[in-house]
Amino acid sequence: MLKKLILAAPLAAMLAVPSVEAAEKIKVGIVLTLTTPASIMGKQMKAAYEVAYDHLGGKMGGKELELIFEDDGLKPNIGKQKTEKLVKKDKVDFLTGYIWSHVLGASAPVALKAGKIFVSANAGHSLYAGKKCHKNFFNAAWENSQNSMAMGTMLNQRGVKNLYILSLNYAAGKQMVAGVERTFKGNVVGKDLVPTSHKDWSAEIAKVKAAKPDGVFVFYPGSWGLAFFTQYKQAGLDKTTPLYSVFSVDGANLPVYQKRKMKHMIGTFNTMFWAPDLDNAVNKRFVADFAKKYKGQIPSHYAAQAYDSLMLIAAGVKAAGGDAKNTDAVRKGMEEADFGSVRGKIKFGKNHFPIQNFYARQVINKNGQWQLSVRQTVVEDHAPVMSNECKL
């Protein structure tokens, strides 16, 4: 009798444990910029996470899923505090979001130290793709210079011989320039990096006119883009010199350009790993449901990345049989990345950054709504250049 009881106790305990766990929720902490002028992207990403939540049926690996959103206010110290709060107080299983490299730089170590899996949904910090790569760090977007490298290749394909480069004088701005110069084969006839406090390009635009390039490459995200593209037209350059941009014309700011009637943006080219009309079933469903959720808008690549981030986590949890605490099993599932991505297919390198195609996209006016449309594949299966510096 006693012997039976001794045998039964651990059995009962074994039976009891999963039932307790089944009641536990899977918590995902999401840090985005939801205030400040940069909240245009953050709010789209929040909506995309919610679309992904709906598509997952509010569950991951058979367990109830809870998303906890936090605002970093575009400040590294606040991002770090919010990450600490999510880790210690909310006891989340995963961290994702993170739009800015400097916020990620301050926050990721907190999460990684606590043994959490961290998925960047935008910030493409080069260090994490190379020397600082970490077994629990994933990026569901890109590495900073990848997109502008694709741009350089696209410029070669389109026969641009003389290029003028304009960017912002800070870390990401310089990485964009380095990327395009790495692949562009023609002449760089001029280059200006302006300080971020800058909103008037009169001097630079006069230099562009004097240099007579056959293409201008720009990296002017957000409000810089709004101001720069306005002045580009006022100087009459829109009629003579085509604009090629990265991270400056996207689904988040096209509605603003349309509202301000900046018609010269139609027809301009940029590069990206994704577009709303990329032809696959997952993407079609995502784009349609996003519009229903968020002001009828067409999602931006930011939203696409957010969607894939949550789906990537879900794939990991599913592979681990719903046991989010089993980090090794979750990580293995995430590395395999067997899920329906808006990219069509997705795979990860050993540094946990996507190896992916980049496309040439053009701004079109379709049914009265300005949007980006895929023109051709520029590079296939592109991996960050610093991937082999990663010793995982």
Partner 1 sequence: MNYTLLAEQFFNGFQLGIILFLVAAGLTLIFGIMDLVNLAHGTLYMFGAFFASTLVAVTDSLVLGMILALPVMLAAGLLLEFSILRTLYERNHLDQVLATFGLILFFNELFLIVWGPEGTGINLPPYLTGTITLPGGITVPEYRMVIIASGLLVALLLYVLVSKTRVGMLIRAGASNREMVGALGINIKLLFTLVFGLGAVLAGFAGMIITPITQADSGMGESILILAFVVIVIGGIGSIKGAFIAAILTGLIDTMGRSFIDVALLQIMDTVAAETAGPAISSMMIYILMAIILAIKPSGLFPPKGA
Please report whether residue 240 would count as binding partner 1 according to CB under 8 A. Answer: no
Rg (CA), the chain: 23
Report if residue 369 touches partner 1, rule: CB under 8 A.
no
Number of chain residues interacting with partner 1 (CB under 8 A): 38
Distance of closest approach, residue 240 Cβ to partner 1, in angstroms: 11
Q: Which of 156, 231, 362, 387 touches partner 1 by CB under 8 A?
A: 231
**329 in helix, strand or coil?**
helix
Which of 55, 63, 75, 233 binds partner 1 (CB under 8 A)? It is: 233
Q: Which of 56, 171, 235, 374 binds partner 1 (CB under 8 A)?
A: 235
For residue 341, give every residue at least 6 positions away whose Cβ sits within 8 Å of its Cβ, in sequence order, or none: 282, 308, 311
Q: Could you say which residues in the range 24-53 bind partner 1, by CB under 8 A?
A: 35-40, 43
**How many CB atoms within 10 Å of residue 266?**
14
Region 281-340 residues binding partner 1, contact defined as CB under 8 A: none
- With CB under 8 A as the contact rule, which of the stretches 6-14, 132-140, 257-265, 349-357 interacts with partner 1? 257-265
Task: Tell me the backbone φ, ψ of residue 355, rounded to 5 degrees.
Answer: -105, 115
Task: Report the nearest approach of partner 1 to the CB of residue 206 (Å).
Answer: 4
With CA atoms as reference, report the closest residue to 360 among 256, 258, 242.
242
Of 248, 253, 297, 341, the one binding partner 1 (CB under 8 A) is 253
8 Å CB contact between 309 and 334: no
Say whether 328 sits in a helix, a strand or coil: helix
* 362 lines the binding site for partner 1 (CB under 8 A): no
What's the closest the beta carbon of residue 26 comes to partner 1, in angstroms? 31
Cβ at position 232, least distance to partner 1 in Å: 11
Q: Which is nearer to partner 1, 88 or 185 (CB)?
A: 185
**Distance (Å, whole) CA 348 – CA 214:** 36
Of 213, 272, 261, 271, the residue nearest 237 (C-alpha): 213
* Dist. CA 133–CA 120, nearest whole Å: 12
Q: Which of 106, 226, 310, 378 binds partner 1 (CB under 8 A)?
A: 226
What is the nearest approach in angstroms of partner 1 to the Cβ of residue 299?
17
Query: Apex CA 123: angle with CA 117 and CA 124, to 5°?
Result: 95
The residue whose two tokens read 């006119």 is: 209
* CA dist 156 → 149, 183, 214 (Å): 11, 8, 12
Q: By CB under 8 A, what part of segment 152-211 binds partner 1?
A: 169, 191-195, 197-200, 202-204, 206-207, 209-210
| Identified binder of partner 1 from the candidate list 77, 187, 234, 388, rule CB under 8 A | 234
Residue 9 or 203 having the CB closest to partner 1: 203
Q: Which amino acid is at 348?
A: F
Token pair, residue 222, equals 């957000």
133 backbone dihedrals φ, ψ, rounded to 5°:
-60, 150
What is the per-residue binding string for partner 1 in 116-155, x denoting contact by CB under 8 A? ----------------------------------------
Angstrom distance (rounded) from CA 65 to CA 197: 42
Query: Residues interacting with partner 1, by CB under 8 A?
Result: 35-40, 43, 169, 191-195, 197-200, 202-204, 206-207, 209-210, 223, 226-227, 230-231, 233-236, 253, 256, 259-261
